[in-house]
Each structure stands twice: as C-alpha cells, then as structure tokens.
Amino acid sequence: MLIARLIADQDGLETRLEGAREALAGAGMPVALAAMLDFCGDVLQLSLPEGDRQRVTEILVEHFGACNLLVADHEIAVPRLFVSDMDSTMIGQECIDELADFAGIKDRVAAITERAMRGELDFADALTERVALLAGLEEAAIDRCLAERIEPVDGARTLVETLKAKGCRTVLVTGGFHHFADRVADDLGFERVVGNRLAVADGQLTGALAGAISDASTKLATLEDERATLGEGARVLATGDGANDIPMLQAADYGFAYRAKPKARDAANGRIERGSLTAILDLFGIPESEWVAG
C-alpha cells in the first residue's frame, strides 16, 4: 500500500488530478482518491494498493508541478522523533558562508559549500578546506553573524513546538558548528544538538575543528540511536536539503527535502517546494487549531 498526500494549486485541479490518475493507472498503479482532507490547508490524499514510490512521486510532480507532497508505504501518522539539518533547512542561511563574509572570503567559501551540498565534493574534505580559510578570524565575529545574518525559515518554530506538543522528540544535527547550532536550537526549541566544534585560541579561530567531524554518517547514526530509544513502530521524521542529508532522509519514515538540491530531493519520500515548513504539519493532518505558535 502507498499513501500519497499533496498540497497543490487549486487552479485546474480536477483536470490535473484526472491526468495523474490516468498516468498512474497506465503505469500499473490504479489509485483511489480520498475526499479532500479538511486539514488547515487543502490536502489531497491518494491511496494505491501497491506501487513504486519514486514513480508515483514523478507522476504527481509531472501533473501538479512544484507541489508539497509525501508518499509513504503505510498510514501516515504524527512522528515520535524529528531529526533535522540546520543550514538552509531550519535557518535560511549557510552559517559558514555568512561567517566567511566577515573574513572577506564569502564567494570563495560559498562556491565550495554549493558543490559539497550538491554532492560534487567529499563533505569532510570540503569542510576542512573551508574552516582552514577562517583561520585568524575573531571569535566575536560569530556573535555578530548570529545577530545580523542568521534567521529561521518561515514556520520553523511552529513546526518544532507543535511536534513537541504532540509528544515528538526533536534533535538538530548539523554539519555546521555548535557556535551557531546551540543558539539556533535554543531559539527554535530543539532538545538535542549534534554538530562540529570550531577550535579557538586566544579569541581567534585556529582554522581547525575540535573533535570528530559531524557528517552524513553522524546524522544517520544520530537518527538510528534516537529511534532505538523509542520502541518498535515509532515513526521518524527527518528534514534536510543537501547531499549529506541523504542517508538520514532515506532512513526516516518521513524524509522531507526542503527546497533541496536535486540529489537530496530525489532521495526523499517527501518534499516542500514552496510555502513554509508548516506544510509538513498539514501533510501529517495536524489542524491549525492545534499548532503551537512560534
């Protein structure tokens, strides 16, 4: 069984829906259309007795465009665990790029970041290279960067606090830095933080990391360790946008790619292409009356 939920423009909905149903049937996946689900937004649910998740997603995107959607192989339920990436997912910036601007090298660092996020560079090597470029930068620049540059994405606080109110544990796991992530987690309401640590000496960044690198394997291990404490049957949500998020997106029951790079988007069974992160609450069927304002 596959359950697909999506949020799309209402213009021409019936025509596009009929086209999607015909395409699914032509691919050997007849679909039953549930009533429009009266959540806080217009959420459409389709049920398929069986089918290929990736092909279902492709057909829905072909007919509905840049929609928000989730395709699961079980009845969709509110998760017990939420593990999220930070940069360009919970916040709208890449912290290392913004910090590099204070050293006058943002373009150089951002180019490396972009390639790493697309999966074109080894993450650890790219991180080590970028951190080395920050050697000599005053640690105080981090506080300025946080105050002047770093902002949560729309809906981030509401998503975290609403899930917590529903009994979901929340974990922020990042390939970025504790200097930023600890403050972001406190602001948004995350209960645990996993990330990298910048080495500092005499009030300046040394250009090195202190401790092991937090990367894709760390994100996956964090998700699996946290899942193991919840007991059998607990559903897990993960969100991310880049290549190093792929393992945890694939391991989660609900892996949402948030305005993501193509490789991450293709690996996920959920996607948010427009609007705020509260679209995830819509897709879980949590009415707006139960949202906890951020």
- Answer yes or no: is pLDDT of 274 > 70: yes
pLDDT of residue 100: 96
Separation of alpha carbons 208 and 128, rounded Å:
7
Cα–Cα–Cα angle for 267, 1, 234, rounded to 5 degrees:
70
The reply to whether 266 belongs to the active site is no
- Confidence at 222, pLDDT banded by 50, 70, 90: very high
Residues 84/240, Cβ–Cβ less than 8 Å:
yes
What backbone phi and psi angles, to 5 degrees, belong to 145?
-60, -45
Calculate mean pLDDT across residues 74-99: 97
- Answer yes or no: is pLDDT of 137 > 50: yes
Separation of alpha carbons 275 and 263, rounded Å:
21
Calculate mean pLDDT across residues 197-206: 98
Cα–Cα–Cα angle for 165, 166, 172, rounded to 5 degrees:
75
Catalytic residue among 11, 87, 125, 225, which?
87
Sorted by where each starts, the structural domains of the chain and their CATH numbers stand as 1-75 (3.30.70.260), 77-93+152-294 (3.40.50.1000)
The reply to whether 187 belongs to the active site is no
What backbone phi and psi angles, to 5 degrees, belong to 5?
-120, 140
Task: Give the orientation angle of helix 13-26 with respect to helix 53-64, to 10 degrees.
Answer: 150
Residues 6+ apart with CB under 8 A from 81: 168, 169, 171, 223, 226, 227, 230, 234, 235, 236, 237
Residues 89/153, Cβ–Cβ less than 8 Å:
yes
- The pLDDT tens digits for 171-193 are 999 999 999 999 999 999 999 99
For the record, the structure tokens of 72 come out as: 């699961």
Catalytic residue among 9, 42, 85, 97, which?
85
Is the entire prediction scored with pTM above 0.85? yes
Name which of 54, 70, 62 is nearest 23 in CA terms.
Answer: 62
Q: Is 92 helix (H, G, I), strand (E, B) or coil?
A: coil
Percent of the chain with pLDDT over 70: 97
The DSSP code for 289 is: G
- Answer yes or no: is pLDDT of 91 > 50: yes
The DSSP code for 152 is: B
Average pLDDT, the chain: 93
Higher pLDDT, 131 or 17: 131
Segment holding 164, helix H or strand E: helix 156-165
Segment holding 81, helix H or strand E: strand 81-84
- Answer yes or no: is pLDDT of 134 > 50: yes
For the record, the structure tokens of 77 come out as: 């339920």
What backbone phi and psi angles, to 5 degrees, belong to 49?
-55, -35
